[in-house]
Amino acid sequence: MPDTTPHRITFANEKGGTGKSTTAVHVAVALAYQGARVAAIDLDPRQRTMDRYFENRAETTANRGIDLPTAHCAVFRGETIEEFDAMAEEMGQGVDFLIVDTPGRDDLFARHAATEADTLVTPMNDSFVDFDLIGQVDSETFKVRRLSFYAELIWETRKMRAIQQRKEIDWVVVRNRSGHTEARNMQRIERALGELSKRAGFRVAKGLSERVIYRELFPSGFTLLDKGHLGELGTSHLVARQEMRSLLASLNLPAHSKPEPTLELA
């Protein structure tokens, strides 16, 4: 791929703590492992979880004298959309992917980054509470009662983009941190998500399961993909890497400059 516009992946859910930053870092590192050039913008100057993750990663690799694939990350601290656009333009120079991690709250820049995404990833936990971001479904029939302002915004953006003949937004709702939901609730969630996906126009993909290791990796900046640096790992981590591989595949991202024959995550 020549040096043109990078593919933008925005991680957004106005609900907090759904795993946006954790998933964003893992996707960024997985792409870097494939040989892609990846830049990342953290839109949360207060928490700056993604930025701190990459900072920790840089520190650990420097301390250990090792070299690991990573992304160039920066925090947006500007005050206008124009400033954000300028930063995205600059960070996007010479990279294949520009990843934007957004705060878990209603935020002007997060909404803008969502409408500018080529792939919009919305991590969601298996709970009806989390559905409210997208719309309300009837508790008995699972028919959609009302789409949220957010879903309407994406809908309007898509119409606008079609008129402007710009690339479509691929909206992927990622079911994250699954594992603790009992079967009946899971079925209900699946039906309700199916209804909502038709109305709001997103696809559903399986994300990362609930695993303690995701919480433990942050201080070192390691990811599950950093084989050989994580100490003794049990088989559950092999399953976790497989999950990561499936998630990446289901995002259907475009090919980039230096595709490796396979992504060796296991």
21 sits near ligand ATP (criterion: CB under 6 A): yes
Q: What is the distance between the alpha carbons of residues 191 and 143, in angstroms, rounded to a whole number?
A: 9
Q: Out of 133, 208, 248, 253, which residue is the one contacting ligand ATP (CB under 6 A)?
A: 208
Query: Least distance in Å: CB of 143 to ligand ATP?
Result: 28
Number of residues that bind ligand ATP (CB under 6 A): 18
Using CB under 6 A, which residues numbered 31 to 50 contact ligand ATP?
44, 47, 49
Using CB under 5 A, which residues numbered 48 to 67 contact Mg ion?
49
The one of Mg ion, ligand ATP, none whose footprint includes residue 37, by CB under 5 to 8 A per kind, is none
177 sits near ligand ATP (criterion: CB under 6 A): yes
Three-point CA angle 204, 226, 66, nearest 5°:
145
Cα-to-chain-centroid distance, residue 182: 25
122 sits near Mg ion (criterion: CB under 5 A): no
Q: What is the 3-state secondary structure (H, E, C) of 40-65?
A: EEECCCCCCHHHHHHHHHHHHHHHHC
Contacting residues for 44 by C-beta, under 8 A, at least 6 apart: 50, 75, 101, 102, 103
18 sits near Mg ion (criterion: CB under 5 A): no
Query: Least distance in Å: CB of 242 to ligand ATP?
Result: 14
215 sits near ligand ATP (criterion: CB under 6 A): yes
- 182-204 burial code (b ≥16 CB/10 A, e <16): eeeeeebbeebbebbbebbbbeb
The one of ligand ATP, Mg ion, none whose footprint includes residue 17, by CB under 5 to 8 A per kind, is ligand ATP
Residue type, 156: E
The one of Mg ion, ligand ATP, none whose footprint includes residue 125, by CB under 5 to 8 A per kind, is none
Q: Out of 6, 69, 92, 104, which residue is the one contacting ligand ATP (CB under 6 A)?
A: 104
125 sits near Mg ion (criterion: CB under 5 A): no
Q: Of the two residues 144 and 244, which places its CB atom closer to ligand ATP in the complex?
A: 244
Residue type, 163: I
57 sits near ligand ATP (criterion: CB under 6 A): no
Residue type, 10: T
- Residues lying near Mg ion in the complex (CB under 5 A): 20-21, 49
Residues that bind ligand ATP (CB under 6 A): 16-22, 44, 47, 49, 103-104, 177, 208, 210-211, 214-215
